Structure formats: structure tokens, C-alpha cells
Amino acid sequence: MGQPVSGRAPTRTHRHSINPPGLPWALPVITVESSTDGPRAAICANLHGDECIGIGVVHALVESLPSALLRGSVRLYPSLNPEGLRAGARRMPGESVDLNRAFPGDARGSSADRAAHAVWHDLLGFGPELVLDLHADSSASIPYAILDRLITARDPERQRRLTRLERLARASGLTLVWDYPDALYRRFHLDRSLAGALLNHGRIEAFTLELGPRRLIAPDAVEAGVDAVLGVLGSIGLMASAGTEHPSRVAGGPWRRDSGPTPRKAGVLRPHHSPGTLLEPGQLLASIHGLDGGLRERLVVPTRSLVLSLSEQAWIAPGASVTTLAVPDSP
Ligand SMILES: [Zn+2]
């Protein structure tokens, strides 16, 4: 039982595991439940095996929620991809499909399909009104929230749900970025990501937090992630968190995610600005050099752009991604 604090109803912590059929591992699941009825939320982490910050965030929540929860319940998934974690790899070992494009999954499909199916059923069985999926972009990044496109609903339901989604994400105190425009969103199958599938096919409000360095559970990134999650959980009344604004937050927008200019030539990537910088159209983002230092190419932003993250690779191949930007989300 959690420690009751001055009149607060006691909490219980339940643990179970998910065993996807035919897979030799189990996923731990922790549910912290108040004896007072209220909203249900779920926090998922480490879906991409090399993105580890969310594990630290979930572990901190396992410790703090029993004495902080006022009502309702929170289900915590520390790792949706423990084999990817062990291998230090984004995907499940031996799997060609990105687990974050496999939802809602298939009980008779590939390992990623079966894992996604098992997670989907555990999540929907819990019946959350809100799910947060914790990812990590780069050691050179600001933390930000990605909001999916809602391509399966029409107005006015669509507008009502998007307004609610934006209000929930704003409570994270992070910079908000809508995902790629609808056509690219469909082409990249982003409605089969966990948050995208929950929003589009599960009719559950869900969004993704990108929380900084991927492989290292860095204390400051964990702290920022915990603050962001508590702000969102507080906004639906699960606890008395007022929410804090992260110092990197850039207001305005609406912004949308953009992969920025890509190089035509290989070479050494030399970024000219740090994440969190706003660039005006025509401003130099980065340059590509030969090993002798000679300039090979200049990468300029065509529109007003906020630098969200930079590649951790110093040597860049032609066509490779060097950045994630936020650009104005003009209709
Ligand atoms: Zn990820």
C-alpha cells in the first residue's frame, strides 16, 4: 500500500507481465491504483530498444506515484522492447519491421506484430483515457512532444479531439510539434505507431514525448521527462501537480515536424547552431566538409525553423538525415 498522506485515499501497486505468444520473453507491467475512482492513464517506454530515457522516467514514477496519486490509476510499461534494449538496437532482434509501425498488431504475424498485438490488448483492457509513449531523439536535442495526425475522424469530432489532445500535450511544459502533414503521415504509416494507432484506431488520446539522449539514462533528461509526465497526469486530476514549463520550451506555432535539408554529398557534418535555436529562412543550419576541411556543401533552411535535434553522426552520407526541425504548420 502507498503511504496515505493527510486524508488521501490509499493506493495499491499491482504487477503482472505480458507474454507475447511464441516469444521467449515477458514485458513487465506495473499498475498503481488509488482506492478513489478517477481517470486512467498509461505510460509506455523503450519501444525502440536503444531509446532508454523512458525507462528511467517509468522507474521514477513506480517509486513516486504510490504516495502522489489522488484518484484513478496509472499503468506503467518500463520496456516494450526488452530484447532490443539488451541488444542496444532500435528494432527487435531479427525483425525487419519497426515495432512502432506494427500497431495494433497481429496475433499470427511477425514477432513485432505479435508483440504489438499483446501490448495493444493489455493497454485496451486497462481502458486508459490517455497514453504517453516515451522516446528519445538525440543527445543533441531539446525535449519535445509529437502530436499525431487524426486521419480517421471527421469534423466536428476531429476538431474536438485534436483540441483536447493539444491541451493535454501543452500540460507537459514542452515544445509541441504536430507530426508530418497528412499525406506524409499516411505514407510513413504513422497511424501504425503506438500513439498514432491509439489515436486513430483505438479512439484514445495519446502522444509521444522525445526526451533527449537515447542510450544513456541521463539524470537531467529523466527529471525533465518526469516533470512533463506529472504535468500531464496532474492536468487530468490524477495528482496535485501544477505542471512546470521546461526552459527549452518554444511557444508559438503551431509547429510541425520536418526532416530538414539533406546533403547531396558525403562528408563531416559541422552544425552551426544548437538545438532550441530559431532560424530564419535562408539561414545556414550546417555545413558538410571533406576531411581536409574543404567546404563541400552548405545546408540552409528554406523556411523559419526551430532546431529540435541534430544527428549524432559526424560523418554523413548523401541523403542522410542531419536534423529534426519544427516548421510552421501552415494548412
Ligand atoms: Zn523512438
Cα(274) to ligand 1 centroid in Å equals 21
- What is the Å distance from ligand 1's center to 46 Cα? 8
- The C-alpha atoms of residue 164 and residue 94 are separated, in whole angstroms, by 39
Question: What pTM, to 2 d.p., does this model score?
Answer: 0.95
Measured in Å, residue 135 CA sits from the centre of ligand 1 at 5
What CATH number is given to the structural domain containing 274?
2.40.50.100
For 95-126, give one letter per residue: b (16+ CB within 10 A) or e: bebbbbbbbbbeeeebbbbbbbbbbbebbeeb
Q: Are 37 and 101 part of one and the same domain?
A: yes
User: Looking at the structure, do residues 184 and 295 belong to the same domain, yes or no?
Assistant: no
Taking the centre of ligand 1 as the mean of its atom positions, its distance from the CA of residue 267, in whole angstroms, is 26
For residue 49, the CA-to-ligand 1 centroid distance in Å is 8
Q: How far is the CA of 278 from the centre of ligand 1 (A)?
A: 24
What's phi and psi for 201, nearest 5 deg? Answer: -115, -20
pLDDT band at 5 (very low <50, low <70, confident <90, very high): low
The rounded Å distance from CA 100 to ligand 1 centre is: 8
Query: How far, in Å, from the CA of 140 to the mean position of ligand 1?
Result: 15
- End position of a domain, from candidates 181, 202, 235: 235
CA of 48 to the centre of ligand 1 (A): 5
Same domain assignment for residues 144 and 282 = no
Ligand 1 centroid to residue 44 C-alpha, Å: 11
Q: Is residue 314 part of a domain?
A: yes
Question: What percent of the chain has a predicted confidence (pLDDT) above 90?
Answer: 90
Q: 268 CA distance to ligand 1 centroid (A)?
A: 25
Residue 25: the pLDDT is 86
How far away, in angstroms, is 261 Cα from ligand 1 center?
A: 21
Angstrom distance (rounded) from CA 331 to CA 95: 37
Same domain, 173 and 316: no
Check pLDDT > 70 for residue 7.
no
Q: Please say whether the beta carbons of 221 and 53 come within 8 A.
A: yes
> 207, 235, 263 — which closes off a domain?
235
Structural domain that includes position 158: 11-235
User: What is the reported pLDDT for 2?
Assistant: 52
Residue 181 and residue 188 in contact, taking contact as beta carbons nearer than 8 Å = no
- Gap from CA of 28 to ligand 1 centroid (Å): 19
C-alpha–C-alpha distance, residues 314 and 270, integer Å = 8
Q: What is the mean pLDDT of residues 149-174?
A: 96
Domain end marker among 235, 269, 299: 235
Report, as an integer, the average pLDDT of 317-329.
96
- At residue 90, the pLDDT reads 95
Do 166 and 293 share a domain, yes or no?
A: no
